[in-house]
Amino acid sequence: MNSRTVALAFRAVAVAEALSWLGLLAGMYVKYVPETSEVGVQVFGPIHGAVFIAYVVVALVAARVLGWSRWTALLALAASIPPLATVVFERWATRTGRLAAPARA
């Protein structure tokens, strides 16, 4: 697996994880505030669970392939907990060069 592929996969899964969080939060709002439907939670709950697991796996692969420090890897994993934090981490990692693919020779 090359670093460019891993970086692209990480970016895609980070955004998907944040979007699935948004869907789940919207579903929980509809379920608990107006108490009208549980469909949002029933749909987005499993989706978010699957994307969350994918994010954790891809983050661990990225940490290894891209040579992240333990602190950076731990920060990437911690970003999966608060809503939308995976996108914040992804932007930070890109800005600081942690998701940069090596230049071609």
Q: What DSSP designation does 105 have? A: -
Q: What DSSP designation does 93 have? A: H
**pLDDT in the model for residue 105:** 42
Question: CB of 90 within 8 A of CB of 15?
Answer: yes
Question: CB of 66 within 8 A of CB of 98?
Answer: yes
pTM of the predicted model, to two decimals? 0.89
pLDDT in tens, 29-68: 898 998 888 888 899 899 999 999 999 999 999 999 999 9
Q: Residue 101: pLDDT band by 50, 70, 90 thresholds?
A: low
